[in-house]
Amino acid sequence: MRVYVLNGVNLDVLGRRDPAHYGSLTLPELEGKVREWGEELGLEVDCRQTNAEGEYVGWIHEALDSADGVIVNPGAWTHYSYAIRDALELLSVPVVEVHLSDVEAREEWRRTSVVRDVAAKTVMGKGPEGYREALEFLDKL
């Protein structure tokens, strides 16, 4: 099973963002854990990050023909990108929305997710472990 793990805008600067919300791991450290968890489950994990919305949409289009499941943390795009939502809606494979922080318990504007209704599951507020939960969910389907 091939899983795309797509981290979006500003997730490249993890480790420098507010640790109270995002913890202290850098993106390479987080991706290292995600790959390890994937290996344990026998999944082929492809981790990517970009700050360019068009590139992110392009990866979702690529997933149409080459992924069996997609984990997305679109960062702030979560809250307003209908372009990313429309791309995710095209997928017939399951999508899991992950947020390191508990977006429901922060500013009002973070409570809106335009991708939630196209995701099979949402995990938030569990830090890096949220990605493990997402992998396990996809593995069990």
Catalytic residues: 22, 99
Kindly state the DSSP code that residue 76 receives in the 8-state scheme: G
Q: Which of 87, 88, 94, 99 binds ligand DQA (CB under 6 A)?
A: 99
Smallest distance from the beta carbon of 79 to ligand DQA, in angstroms? 6
Q: Which of 13, 52, 64, 76 binds ligand DQA (CB under 6 A)?
A: 76
Q: Which amino acid does the sequence have at 106?
A: R
Q: Which of 1, 10, 68, 137 binds ligand DQA (CB under 6 A)?
A: 10
Q: Is 75 in the site for ligand DQA (CB under 6 A)?
A: yes
Smallest distance from the beta carbon of 11 to ligand DQA, in angstroms? 6
Nearer to ligand DQA, 69 or 75 (CB): 75
Q: Is 134 in the site for ligand DQA (CB under 6 A)?
A: no
Tell me the C-alpha to C-alpha distance, in Å, between residue 89 and each of 22, 42, 47, 63, 64.
27, 27, 20, 12, 10
Which stretches does DSSP call E strand in the chain? 2-7, 44-49, 69-73, 95-99, 121-124
Q: Which of 35, 110, 121, 126 binds ligand DQA (CB under 6 A)?
A: 110
Distance CA 49, CA 5 (A): 8
With H, G, I as helix, E, B as strand and everything else as coil, classify residue 91.
coil
